[in-house]
């Protein structure tokens, strides 16, 4: 699934995320985040259409199963907050 992310300069990007019960919500890897954000890092973000975490390591190659410790705070790069920007209004 994708989440809409707004940067501090007002640009909006779609970031690919996954859901996991182990981290209690949506997440992505730092590499996927930077690819979707055209090289920008989490510090450029103001908020998103849904809250999600960014983890340092890539997603598991075998699918949705991550190794033990993947969701540890030491592996978390950022927590992107929800921002009420009326994302669903047309």
Question: Each residue of 62-71: pLDDT tens digit?
Answer: 456 677 788 8
Mean pLDDT: which of 47-51, 56-60, 85-89 is highest? 47-51
Long-range contacts of 15-23 (CB under 8 A, 24+ apart): 15/48, 15/52, 17/50, 17/52, 18/59, 18/64, 20/64, 20/66, 20/71, 22/66, 22/70, 22/71, 23/53, 23/71
pLDDT for the residue numbered 57 = 87
More confident residue, 68 or 58: 58
Residue 26: the pLDDT is: 95
pLDDT, mean of residues 56-81: 82
pLDDT: which is higher, 64 or 33: 33
pTM of the model: 0.87
């Amino acid at each position: 699934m994708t989440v809409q992310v707004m940067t501090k300069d007002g640009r909006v990007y779609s970031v690919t995320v996954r859901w996991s019960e182990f981290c209690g919500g949506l997440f992505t890897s730092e590499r996927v985040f930077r690819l979707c954000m055209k090289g920008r890092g989490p510090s450029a973000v103001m908020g998103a259409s849904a809250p999600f975490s960014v983890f340092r390591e890539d997603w598991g190659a075998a699918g949705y199963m991550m190794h033990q410790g993947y969701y540890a705070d030491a592996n978390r790069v950022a927590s992107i907050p929800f921002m009420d920007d009326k994302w669903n209004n047309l």
